[in-house]
Amino acid sequence: MTRFSVVVPTLNETENIDLLLTRLFSLELSPDSFEVIIVDDASTDGTPEKVRAWIDRSNVRLVDRKENPDLTASVLAGVAIATSDFIVVMDADLSHPPDRLLALVTPLLDGNYDVAIGSRYISGGSTENWSLHRQWLSHIGSFLARPICDVSDATSGFIAFRRDLAKTIPDDVRGYKFLLELLMAGHGKLRVIEVPICFRNRIHGISKLSFFHK
């Protein structure tokens, strides 16, 4: 069994697939220690074909969803086929730094935490080349979530969690606020840690998700 599974929801990310997978499999980790599950939401730009080119040579799997694009549904589809007990969710566009992958998942692998959040808003975290408007929107989103879950970056899309926690999310939940759903389902009982990251704007392609996901 792999130590952890990386679930990457995609929608028209053909320009980023090779870049992301090259970065992930270049990390100083055993290739057998993790798997990458790409969950594609009916891309029309050849993203699934780009992923399939990796399947025979790396620990990469593809879930080719044909339903309406939805982040929560995509993550849960990836979790359903994961072969490990720990899940990492990250974007395909390299806005979530692959070099912080191990720092994010290690607190869970060590058994000390249930959820780890790649945070922009704790000491050591940052955003790169964001407009003031986007910074304001993101901070407002996290501020509004504070009464629900006491974390600094409740709208982060770069997270790690114990696989069994996915079962606590109601089947009918949809949308781009997966982390919030996870934390609310935990009723304040989860052991949560925030790990600093630098969030960077995508270079290729167009953002498809609202600021609640980012």
147-189 residue pLDDT tens: 556 788 888 999 999 999 999 998 788 887 899 899 988 888 9
CATH number at residue 28: 3.90.550.10
> CA neighbours within 13 Å on the CB side: how many for 86?
22
Tokens of 163: 């696989």
Say what the pLDDT of residue 209 is: 47
Q: Is residue 19 domain-resident?
A: yes
Say what the pLDDT of residue 23 is: 96
Say what the pLDDT of residue 148 is: 57
Rg for the chain (alpha carbons), in Å? Answer: 16
- Segment holding 150, helix H or strand E: none
Average pLDDT over residues 41-59: 95
Query: Which of left, alpha, beta for 181 (phi over 0: left; psi -120 to 50: alpha)?
Result: alpha
Within 10 Å of residue 61's Cβ, how many Cβ atoms? 19
Say what the pLDDT of residue 127 is: 75
Please tell me the total number of residues recorded for the chain in this structure.
214
**Residue 202 pLDDT level (bands cut at 50, 70, 90):** low
Q: Is residue 25 domain-resident?
A: yes
Q: Is residue 177 domain-resident?
A: yes
Q: What is the pLDDT of residues 92-112, one digit of tens each?
A: 999 999 999 999 999 999 999
Separation of alpha carbons 102 and 214, rounded Å: 20
Which of 84, 116, 112, 92 shows the shortest CA–CA distance to 197?
A: 116
Separation of alpha carbons 90 and 78, rounded Å: 12
**Residue 205 pLDDT level (bands cut at 50, 70, 90):** low
Q: Is residue 92 domain-resident?
A: yes
Q: Is residue 207 domain-resident?
A: no
Q: Report the amino acid identity of residue 57.
A: R
**Residue 132 pLDDT level (bands cut at 50, 70, 90):** low
Q: Is residue 211 domain-resident?
A: no
Q: Is residue 206 domain-resident?
A: no
Q: Output 58 or 207, whichever has higher pLDDT.
A: 58
Separation of alpha carbons 200 and 214, rounded Å: 11
Q: Which residue segment(s) compose the domain that 100 sits in?
A: 4-200
Separation of alpha carbons 3 and 86, rounded Å: 7
Q: Is residue 212 domain-resident?
A: no
Query: For the chain, how many structural domains are there in total?
Result: 1
Say what the pLDDT of residue 167 is: 94
Say what the pLDDT of residue 200 is: 84
SS3 content of the chain, % helix, strand, coil (to 5): 35, 20, 45
Which of 138, 127, 100 shows the shortest CA–CA distance to 116?
A: 100
On the 0-12 / 13-18 / 19+ scale of CB atoms within 10 A, 1 is: exposed
Say what the pLDDT of residue 204 is: 56
pLDDT, mean over the chain: 87
Q: What is the pLDDT of residues 57-69, one digit of tens each?
A: 999 999 999 888 9
Say what the pLDDT of residue 24 is: 97
Residue 9 phi, psi dihedral angles, 5° rounding: -70, 135
